[in-house]
Every structure is written in C-alpha cells, then in structure tokens.
Amino acid sequence: MKLASSPSSTCAKTVGKRHLHHRADTLREHGTAVRRVVSEMRQRLDVAYTLAEMSETAYMSPFHLNRVFRRMTGVPPRRFLTALRLEAAKRLLLTTEQKVTDISLDVGYQSLGTFTRRFTQLVGISPTRFRALATTGAQAAMATVAQMLASERLSERQRAQAPRAIVTAPAFFQGVIFVGLFDTPIPQAQPRACAVRSSPGGFHLGRVDDGDYYLAAMALPWSPDPTDILLYTGALRAGVLRAPFRVRGGRQQSTTVHLDLRRPDDLDPPILLAVPLLLPQRTHQQEPRRSRIRLQK
C-alpha cells in the first residue's frame, strides 16, 4: 500500500520547485539584460558609455548591474568595454587603411599615446607591428608552430605526469589548440604558462608560482588568410573564467579540469592576446622564471 505524502513534505517540494523556477527566470532575465548592455557597447565604441548609462540600458541599479555583469561574463562592464574597443581596433588595423590615430578615435580613445600603450600591453605588440603581421608574420608564426608540433615531444618524465586538464573539440576541428593561465578572466597580455596541442586531449602546463589564475583555451583553425589567423575567425574557445584556478605549493588545488571547446558567445570577453605571434617567439627565447611553455603532441 502506497503511503500518502505528508502535507509538510508536499509543501516543501512545491516551495523547492517554485524556488528553482524563480532562479531560472532570474538567470534568464539577467542574461537578457547583460546581452542588451553588450550590444549597446558594440554600438558605442567611439563614445563614452558610463556605468550609469549601462544601468539604464539594463533596467537595474549600477551596483546591481556591476555584480550581475561580472557574474555572467567574469569581468566588470568597464573592463569588458575596453576589451571590445581593442578587439575593434585590431579588426580596423587589418581590414582598413585608416591611420592609427583615426582608429584610436573610432574606438573611444582621445589620446594616441594612451591607446598605443593600452594596445601594446594587452595585445602584446604595438598597433603598427600588429598591422604589419597581415603580410607574412601571422602565417610564418603558424608555420613555426606547425613545425614545432611535428618535431617536439614531451619527455618521459612529463609523459608520466597526470594531465592537469582535458580538452575536447568538435569532430570537424582541424588546427592548433592553445591553452594558457592568465592573471585576468580576459585572455590578454602574456600568459603565466601555456601549452600548444595539435589535437584534443590532456595537457600539462608546467610549473607556475602560487597564485590565482584563469584558465582559457582557444582552438584556431588552419587558414591561408593571415587576417583569419589574427582575428580568430572561426576560432573555438573554452575556459574557467568565472572562478580562479588556484595553485598552492606548486600544485593545482582543483581536480582535473575539463574544457569543452565551443563557438564563441556574445558574453565571452574578447581574446586580445596575439597568440600566433607570441607563442613561437617565447618558445625560442630563454623561458622566464615565472612562466613555462609546453609543446605537446
């Protein structure tokens, strides 16, 4: 004989379901609001867009928007806007003949010096040098990576180590997979450590100093067009950007991380780092004490 549920048990279940539905509705509303702000950011790259104005777009207070935006994207709205501006500058540098001064104005910078310093800091190369890569630099860098992947192998000691993370990719993908630890949720500036793979699977980043980092992966398809390489056209990405990747005592604190490569989403912070250029350069240089690069097959 089936016993009837008690009134208190039935009530608790009902309340629980309502709470889950309410939370799902709230997440959808927050996602819609943040996407609305990001869309407005893209339309206003050349003019000031204050947090107060963003909050009006999102229909919430500045304090609440700042918290919700960070929860949804991993970064505060102003930092996201800065990344969008530099991403737009990269595209203009490669697809137009505009002067660097004009491009800096088009993406909201009133000072060429400020724009150049910011671009160089976060992309890893000056605007002028970045533009020059569209001729031969990007293809040469990718060719160098391909040669390394064909010749480099992990040592027996490295092979014996358990992989720190697992990368999966769609069956159709053919190209190079970059994985790195960054100081911020936006993949920018020099990574603390990175690895390059020619196929999905396990990877090991090597030693890094104790700290809190953000793990990001990007899969870049092979392309004969250097613009595609430098603007990450068709690139897949994955990452743990909303929670830090902790290293203590030389060991990662989390269990093995699984990164499922996917197509970009509007709420993903732009990838600013000029990956195809920087990785081959740094691999041929003596490795800095605080950073390690691993090439894995």
**Which pLDDT tens digit goes with each residue over 205-248?**
777 788 888 888 999 888 888 888 889 988 999 987 666 788 88
Q: Could you say which of 5, 39, 73 is where a domain stops? A: 73
Cβ contacts of 170 within 8 Å, gap of 6 or more: 236, 261
Does 286 score more than 60 pLDDT? no
Domain shared by 42 and 176, yes or no: no
Q: What is the pLDDT of residue 229?
A: 84
**Which residues span the domain enclosing 289?**
127-296
Render pLDDT for 68-119 as a digit per residue (tens, 0 to 9). Answer: 999 999 899 999 999 999 999 999 999 999 999 999 999 999 999 999 999 9
Distances (CA, A) of 4 to 8, 9, 10: 12, 10, 10
Q: Is residue 202 included in any domain, yes or no?
A: yes
Structure tokens at 262: 């996917």
Tokens 């996201």 belong to residue = 80
Q: Is residue 9 included in any domain, yes or no?
A: no
pTM: 0.79
Does 12 score more than 50 pLDDT? yes
At residue 17 the predicted structure's pLDDT band, cuts being 50, 70 and 90, is low
Q: Could you say which of 55, 73, 91 is where a domain stops? A: 73
Q: Is residue 14 included in any domain, yes or no?
A: no
Structure tokens at 285: 């240089």
At residue 166 the predicted structure's pLDDT band, cuts being 50, 70 and 90, is confident
